Amino acid sequence: MINLMVTLVGLALGVIIGYYIPVTYPDSYSLYISVAILASLDSVFGAIRANIEGNYDNIIFITGFFGNAIIAGFLAYVGDKLGVPLYYASIFVFGGRLFQNFAIIRRRIFDRFVIKKRGN
């Protein structure tokens, strides 16, 4: 449970720091950054899910976080050069897994509260 709290505090700090530090980038990079952020969010929600299920591994999280972002950015880059919207593959895969992980997290947390409430 402490790992979950550390993860959520780290996520909140990252959002706060990102909001208050002005970072700009060219508009031509927006496609690459958006799919990389989507892939990174997928990894974060996967880590939260793994932590709740009790099988979180930091090495798996770090390699997945950066690996997914790099693959998503690479697909967007190659698709841009070929004139084919390959970034759709990243959107479908990582977006679908993001919602699936969120649904599982929600169910696990809900089950914990219902089991605690029924036990009392």
Predicted structure pTM score = 0.74
Residue 117 has pLDDT above 90, yes or no: no
Residue 18 has pLDDT above 70, yes or no: yes
What is the model's pLDDT at position 112? 81
Q: Would you place residue 45 in the very low, low, confident or very high pLDDT band (cuts 50, 70, 90)?
A: very high
How many angstroms separate the CA atoms of 5 and 50, rounded? 14
* DSSP output for 20-49: HS-----GGGHHHHHHHHHHHHHHHHHHHH
Residue 11 has pLDDT above 90, yes or no: no
How many angstroms separate the CA atoms of 63 and 28, rounded? 27
